[in-house]
Structure 1
Amino acid sequence: MRASDDKKITVLGLGGVGGYVGALLADAYPHVTFVARGERGKSIRENGLILHSDYRGERTVHPENVVETAADLETQDYIFICVKNYSLEEACRSLAGCVSEDTVIVPVMNGADPGDRVREYLPRATVIDSLIYIVAFANADYSVTQQDKFANLYVGIQDADPADWKKCCDVTDLLGGAGVDCTASRDIQAEIWKKYILNCAYNVETALYNNSIGQLRDDPQKAAIYEALVDEAWHVALAKGIHVTKAHRDAILHRFHYELQYDATSSLQRDVNAGRPTELETFSGYIVREARRLGTAAPVSEKMYEELKETCRKAD
């Protein structure tokens, strides 16, 4: 028996990311709990969680437990939080009773600061920062689809001491044992910001203009705006002391111009169009506030943030 087989693992948030990670964990380990409310929870209890994965194949998994809330769970060894940023505080409060000094929490979420926020809400646990490169989404029937031949997760604690680094490696081993590609990074903040800088342009501009990436590329003015958004977020990162280089910035722009699929859209764009709650504050508000705090100019980001706030207000 593997050492991980004894571990109690909870996944909270069963959308695209949580559904993919949760399905692989539940397929590999016996003591996995999903926190899923309402019809989603009912569907998983009755039918299992169905994953359609280009990378890891079709599977239906039945976790040991599916609960409406984490409030009644016993102490967990590992907790993966995969919710939208606007739900993070509520999620953490629901987890308070199942967290001890030995619990490891991994928020697998968008943005630059979910790890810090979880540390604030749940200070007893060890919180490991992470990011994931994945194309995944939940379907109307509560199944989850993962597209393309990659799904890469990075974990780490910045300036980790030996004990914390071991916990990062343990998480890597746990996920790797389930077939989740995972790398422990000594400079996790640089990894997080490389993705975040991309998303500050990708999500914001696709959402404001309701264009695909290809449509933005085809319009020289919009392409220039995309580059300005990348530059402003990059300069905020530099002002924060994050180790992101000009080569990283150039790679983000190269991906926009030459690598991203023509018809690619963003989660913020889809949420705005559907009139759902959005992560506008994650992708735009945060960078604007940090730029102001640090005295870094971000006029394009500020303008688009205000315009998107108005778009979201009208949709409400």
Structure 2
Amino acid sequence: MNKKHIAVLGLGGVGGYFGFKISQENETSKSYKVSFVARGETYRRVKENGLVLLSPEHPVDHTYPDFIGEHISNVKDPDLVLICVKEYDLENVCQQLKDVISQDTVLLPMMNGADIYERIRKIIPGNIILPTCIYVASHIKEKGIVEHKGKAGKMIVGRDPEHFSADVDWIVDVLKESKIDFDFKDNSLADIWTKYIFIASFGLVTAKHNSSIGMVCTDENQRAEASEIMKEIKMIADEKRIALDEDIIQKTFEKAATFPFETPTSLQLDVNSGKENNELELLGGAVLNFGKESGIDTPSTYKIYNEIKAL
């Protein structure tokens, strides 16, 4: 019987952490074929030295996949693809994926956003896509080296609403065998939107003011702006029949208060360093699009979205 082929696209903080776990376990078990795709200097370093993960969880910090390629086209017949790219690269990656996957390939997007499933589905209409929510404190320390701090990373994986009864038990087994902390649910959308309400509101407000998560919690004006964005996202979720907690806004601020005061957000860092590509469309544009589709006004998100665009 052929081994299942697992491909990890992108070796940033998320792909590097979870891809490392799958590859390192597989070096011992040889149960699967594991391929990595990375570009440029990351590709060269991982090809030469393996992928390095600096984490209290792993005393051995190197792993060597079965294959590493620089282009998606180098990957042949994957059974499972972990999509771990920046969200603004998602459409481009999906177009390339169409040429290498079969109708049986399962896609596991590892990026946080409320519209990721729909965006993949538009380009790749027939395949199984498992909507997923990621929690992990990891980042690229240098090319080919990922650093992980804090608690073990966690995945919340849901069934594909369009292929609900598809047999994905073998993927659950991969995650278990790789000692990844995960929950597998019939429906992961509430988890995805609970995280989204946090990253969108805090991302937008910190980007506008070049502030921190702590500042949004304590500054009256910034807290009010974040609350209004959360209310708009909650109304959209209600319209979509996604069951968020009634006190989601209070809970989101409580969660934010557990972060160190000066914690930045990625949108704030990208906008205020003048980076050309950032997550404004993921965190602001998506809310505006969902609002239009649902017939819900989103004036607070619209205002801050345009203020950030003008920076």
> TM exceeds 0.5?
yes
Q: 4+ residue runs of structure 1 moved beyond 6 angstroms?
A: none
For normalisation by structure 1, the TM-score amounts to 0.90
Distance 1:250 1:93, change over 3 A: same
The corresponding residue for 1:314 is none
Q: Distance in 2 between matches of 1:97 and 1:290?
A: 30
| Aligned residue runs from structure 1 range 134-173, under 5 A | 134-157=136-159, 159=161, 163-164=165-166, 166-167=167-168, 169-173=169-173
Aligned residues: 305
Whichever residue aligns with residue 19 of structure 2, its letter is G
Partner of 1:241: 241
CA contact (8 A) 2:157 2:184 kept: yes
Q: Please, which of 76, 79, 96 is the counterpart of residue 77 of structure 1? A: 79
Distance 1:174 1:207, change over 3 A: same
Shift of residue 296, structure 1, vs aligned partner = 1.9
Query: In structure 2, the residue corresponding to 1:173 is in which secondary structure?
Result: helix
Asked whether the 8 Å contact 2:202–2:216 carries over to 1, the reply is: no
- Farther-moved stretch of structure 1 (41-50 vs 171-180): 171-180
Give the corresponding residue for 2:6. 9
Query: Do residues 220 (structure 1) and 220 (structure 2) align?
Result: yes
Structure 1's unaligned 5+ residue stretches are: 312-316
RMSD, aligned CA: 2.0
Relative distance call for 1:142 and 1:161 in structure 2 (3 A) is closer
Cα separation, partners in 2 of 1:280 and 1:124, compared to 1, 3 Å: same
Out of 41, 47, 63, the position equivalent to 1:39 is: 41
Deviation at 1:122, TM superposition (A): 2.1
**Distance in structure 1 (CA, Å) of the matches to 2:95 and 2:37:** 13
Instruction: Give the C-alpha shift of residue 56 in structure 1.
Output: 4.5
State the secondary structure of the residue aligned to 2:157: strand
Q: Deviations over 1:152-206 (max 9, x none)?
A: 1011125476632x31x43222112112111111221111111111111121111
Tell me the distance in 1 between the aligned counterparts of 2:60 and 2:280: 33
**What is the CA distance between 1:6 and its match in structure 2?**
2.1
Native 8 Å contact 2:129 2:160 kept in 1:
no
Q: Structure 1 residue 28 and structure 2 residue 30: aligned?
A: no
How far 1:141 moved relative to its partner?
Answer: 3.7
Uncovered stretches (5+) of structure 2, i.e. residues with no partner: none
Residue identity in the other structure for 1:18: G
Q: How does 1:189-200 map to 2 (within 5 A)?
A: 189-200=189-200
Higher helix share: 1
Report what 1:275 is aligned to: 274
CA distance in 2, matches of 1:197, 1:51: 30
Which stretch shows the higher mean deviation, 117-126 or 204-213?
117-126
